[in-house]
A and B are shown apart, each in its own frame.
With several copies, the nearest count.
Chain A
Amino acid sequence: MLSNLDEMAARIGPRMHVALPVDYAGVAMAMTRPIIAHGAGELHLVCVPTGGLQVDQLIGAGLVHSIETSAVSLGEAGGAPRFNQAVKDGAIHLSDATCPAIHAGLMAAQKGIPFMPMRGLIGSDVLRNRDDWRVMDNPFAAAGDPIVLIPAIRPDVAVFHAPMADRFGNVWIGRRRELAAMAYASGETLVTVERVVDGSLVDDEMTAAGVLPALYVTAIAEAPRGAWPYGLWGEYATDVDELKRYAVAARSAQGFADYMSEALRVHP
């Protein structure tokens, strides 16, 4: 089950649906360049529930055909330049969502049901532009009461970064349970971790409480500071200066290409 970045990147094939986590949950940034190097394209990205640097870089590298997301941005460092340009160019197909709709779609996959009902949305242009969603009247109400149904989101593969794993394939995700939700819903799950520990993480109730069990994990690779320039909760902070450096560089396609072709900088 222990693998390396390149082997894991090679599991991502053309036209796959790839689930990626929100900035602060644990982004496997160390996988970004190997995925680009491997080069499987026409990917459909599912942001859980929003995207950032990794999404922008995969778009900039031309690997992305379509994206379902509630937002893409670099947070404090501003808008996501390659995403914004691709939108303007009509180069990617957009499925704009709202955060709980993405959680609902993953939950439907987790539960093995075809859809989840969800409140809100009615009257929004988010709903108006989603012909894959449905509206029906709540059958438990006396009359009326329209409610949106979100179909199951079943990614082919989920990719994220976590503090640690054991050699049995159990991954410690702590309270970032959206990572578990991604894994439950996905066919495969690829995880980079800060470190691999010797003992079993499920043998102790304290660590077990934060574990995604090996049952859901396809492969794990060690990647110290693997979320950089994002931070990892409880481990290290986001390198905002690096995000800003990227935000400036990636304003143009050439600047993006130059940034990406730099040797991977030694991070602090």
Chain B
Amino acid sequence: MSAETLPRELLIGTIARLLEGVRHVAVGATSPIPAAGAMLRRALDERNGVPAARLSILGSVRHNFFTNGSAELFDAAGQGRIDAFFLSGGQIDGQANVNLVGLGDYPRSEVRWPGSFGSAYLYFVVPRVILFREEHTPRVFVKNVDFISAPGVSSPEVYRPGGPVALLTGKGLFSFDRQRPGFTLDSLHPGHDLMEVQEATGFDFAHPANPPVTPALDASTLGLLRRQVLNELEETYPAYVADWRRDLAGLGEAH
């Protein structure tokens, strides 16, 4: 484990691990950490000599494999051609319900967020949906969301080949059990403890008595990330990469 791994690098490396074995991952616009995680997955696959994950970044011109307009992502997902996708939420609850619409009563939300986007569909049909929200506070992780943009689980008669498999936050990594249903804390990021996470989470979750620490990136992976992936990412997220480079410079790791 490298003491110099940045928190964002741990998240990116964890995402790359969660994406192991996917053929095609789609990433929403303005999602630099998931995009970097997917790029790292692709780089690792190439290094390991296995078929490399294909990556589509929505709204990007360069990382856009689609030629049939903005419906094609959803069509491809419906065809089973998208293995993994990321969702976030203004609120996420213990049933993995996601709220992207707003706080308070609907439709006159006290706080209105943009809207559900494709979540009410993709959450059902993409097999490996990774919930990602860096802010880990009780206002995000609530007992029950105010508005269900997309439900975490469905009754057995509902066609649902997809759904949540994991929740990654700034404090830890959870897996999701669709049967129970509910989250299990798999690991804590360095510097966080179980009680802190319980206090920051508005819903109950299962956990080992002593949760392990989220594994850090090995030196080879970290090297791949800081050289190849960082450069690849720069094209789509120049401001994010500049910030990252500043953090690296602070570590004495300037590139």
Q: Is the CB of B30 within 8 A of A76?
A: yes
Knowing A111-B75, A111-B78 touch, does A96 contact B101 (C-beta < 8 A)? yes
Chain A residues with CB below 8 A from B76, complex form: 184, 215
Number of interface residues of B (CB under 8 A): 53
Chain B residues with CB below 8 A from A210, complex form: 67
**Chain B residue nearest in CB terms to A113:** B78
Knowing A103-B74, A111-B78 touch, does A120 contact B112 (C-beta < 8 A)? no
Chain A residues with CB below 8 A from B68, complex form: 175, 177, 180
Q: Say yes or no for B115: interface residue by CB 8 A criterion.
A: yes
Q: Say yes or no for B141: interface residue by CB 8 A criterion.
A: no
Q: Is the CB of A99 within 8 A of B70?
A: yes
Q: Say yes or no for B185: interface residue by CB 8 A criterion.
A: no
CB < 8 Å neighbour of A129 from B66, B71, B107, B159:
B107
Q: Is the CB of A180 within 8 A of B116?
A: no
Chain B residues with CB below 8 A from A70, complex form: 115-118
Q: Is the CB of B78 within 8 A of A112?
A: yes
Q: How far apart sit A25 and B100, CA to CA, in the bound complex (Å)?
A: 23
Q: Say yes or no for B206: interface residue by CB 8 A criterion.
A: no
CB < 8 Å neighbour of B149 from A75, A125, A212:
A125
Chain A residues with CB below 8 A from B149, complex form: 98, 124-126
CB < 8 Å neighbour of B124 from A75, A119, A177, A185:
A119
**Chain A residue nearest in CB terms to B65:** A213
Q: How far apart sit A127 and B107, CA to CA, in the bound complex (Å)?
A: 13
Q: Say yes or no for B255: interface residue by CB 8 A criterion.
A: no
Q: Say yes or no for A181: interface residue by CB 8 A criterion.
A: yes
Q: Is the CB of A24 within 8 A of B59?
A: yes
Chain B residues with CB below 8 A from A99, complex form: 70, 74, 117-118, 121
Chain A residues with CB below 8 A from B109, complex form: 87-88
Chain A proximity of B225: nearest CB distance (Å)? 24
Q: Is the CB of A175 within 8 A of B66?
A: yes
Q: How far apart sit A83 and B108, CA to CA, in the bound complex (Å)?
A: 12
Knowing A50-B117, A98-B120, A100-B121 touch, does A233 contact B74 (C-beta < 8 A)? no
Chain B proximity of A235: nearest CB distance (Å)? 11
Mark contacts of A136-147 with chain B using CB atoms, 8 A cut-off: 1 yes-contact digit, 0 otherwise: 000000011111
Number of interface residues of A (CB under 8 A): 74
Interface positions, chain B 56-100, Cβ under 8 Å from A, are 59, 61, 65-71, 74-81, 100
Knowing A175-B67, A177-B68 touch, does A110 contact B101 (C-beta < 8 A)? no
Q: How far apart sit A268 and B118, CA to CA, in the bound complex (Å)?
A: 34
Knowing A80-B114, A96-B115, A99-B117 touch, does A202 contact B107 (C-beta < 8 A)? no
Q: Is the CB of A120 within 8 A of B71?
A: no
Q: Say yes or no for B183: interface residue by CB 8 A criterion.
A: no
Mark contacts of B14-45 with chain A using CB atoms, 8 A cut-off: 1 yes-contact digit, 0 otherwise: 00000000001000011000000000000000
Chain B proximity of A85: nearest CB distance (Å)? 9
Q: Is the CB of A120 within 8 A of B24?
A: no
**Chain A residue nearest in CB terms to B108:** A90
Chain A residues with CB below 8 A from B80, complex form: 112
Q: Is the CB of B114 within 8 A of A178?
A: no
Chain A residues with CB below 8 A from B132, complex form: none
Q: Is the CB of A184 within 8 A of B75?
A: yes
Q: Say yes or no for A84: interface residue by CB 8 A criterion.
A: yes
Chain B residues with CB below 8 A from A79, complex form: 112-114
Q: Is the CB of B120 within 8 A of A126?
A: yes
Q: How far apart sit A25 and B74, CA to CA, in the bound complex (Å)?
A: 16
Of A125, A212, A213, A214, most B-chain CB atoms within 10 Å: A125
Q: How far apart sit A96 and B75, CA to CA, in the bound complex (Å)?
A: 20
**Chain B residue nearest in CB terms to A209:** B67
Chain A residues with CB below 8 A from B115, complex form: 50, 69-73, 96
**Chain B residue nearest in CB terms to A121:** B120
Q: Is the CB of A120 within 8 A of B101?
A: no
Q: Say yes or no for A211: interface residue by CB 8 A criterion.
A: yes
Known pairs A96-B101, A103-B74; list 6 more (Cβ under 8 Å): A49-B70, A50-B114, A88-B108, A98-B121, A124-B148, A146-B157
Residues on B lying within 8 angstroms of A by beta carbon are 24, 29-30, 54, 59, 61, 65-71, 74-81, 100-102, 106-110, 112-125, 147-151, 154-155, 157-159
Name 24 interchain pairs, CB-CB below 8 A, sorted by A. A22-B70, A23-B59, A70-B118, A71-B100, A79-B114, A87-B107, A88-B108, A88-B110, A88-B112, A96-B101, A99-B70, A112-B75, A120-B150, A121-B121, A123-B154, A123-B155, A124-B148, A144-B157, A178-B70, A184-B76, A202-B65, A202-B67, A215-B81, A233-B61
